[in-house]
A and B are shown apart, each in its own frame.
Chain A
Amino acid sequence: DTAVSQTPKYLVTQMGNDKSIKCEQNLGHDTMYWYKQDSKKFLKIMFSYNNKELIINETVPNRFSPKSPDKAHLNLHINSLELGDSAVYFCASSQGGVWDNEQFFGPGTRLTVL
């Protein structure tokens, strides 16, 4: 059984387009995250949702909009894609308590903007 899944795995698109990445977790976790990992492998948190409510938005351009229809899903929509958006995007989930928030990562979505 897949714990955290993301689709698509690869996404190649032109500058200026709008695209979405979907994420689902079947771990029963309360908190979900989106991370961006750039070409230098730096993993940076973008958003965090707890029980469908946004709790972190780390200085991400407003072209990026997360949507959580329920606590098992956290989708990422990106408007007006730019070259600098090319990266691997990881979805993750955790129990969401105060301690020991081990992150369970999805397989990643490699986004290439041409």
Chain B
Amino acid sequence: GQNIDQPTEMTATEGAIVQINCTYQTSGFNGLFWYQQHAGEAPTFLSYNVLDGLEEKGRFSSFLSRSKGYSYLLLKELQMKDSASYLCAVGRIGGSYIPTFGRGTSLIVHP
């Protein structure tokens, strides 16, 4: 089976930096995704890591360590609009591609 763990909720201040961690256990690992979901909306893609290391995309960066089963999403220069749920998702190959989502981290950015 699979197990994905991420904090339930985090708070941060506008302009600050926040790191959202995700740990996972899975067989047939096939990449890790981060999605952003605003209240009442659909998840939208933020990043994809399949090799170890840091992927940077503007204010958002994502890191992966496959040996540790660990990833983080780093958000810089936080804005109020970054208040949302951040979902860690692991892809797994088990005959076919199977995506599994963590329960999401609700990030609250305050002034």
Contact = CB atoms under 8 A, between A and B. Distances in A.
Interface of A: 31, 33, 35, 40-45, 48, 50, 55-56, 90, 94, 96-108
Contact of B91 (A42, A96, A101, A104): A101
A106 to B, nearest CB: 6
Majority DSSP secondary structure for residues of B touching A: strand
The number of chain B residues touching the other chain, given as a range, is 20 to 34
Contacts of A107: 41-42
Contact of A106 (B42, B85, B103): B42
Nearest to B89: A103
B41 A45 contact: no
Given A33-B99, A41-B103, A100-B31, A105 B50 contact: no
Given A99-B30, A101-B97, A101-B99, 11 more contacts: A35-B101, A41-B85, A41-B106, A43-B43, A45-B98, A45-B100, A56-B96, A90-B43, A101-B31, A104-B45, A105-B42
Given A41-B104, A43-B104, A103 B99 contact: yes
A40 B42 contact: no
Contacts of B44: 105
A42 B103 contact: yes
A98 to B, nearest CB: 7
Contacts of B85: 41
A99 B50 contact: yes
B41 A44 contact: no
A96 B30 CA distance: 13
A61 to B, nearest CB: 19
Contacts of A98: 30, 93, 97
B48 interface: yes
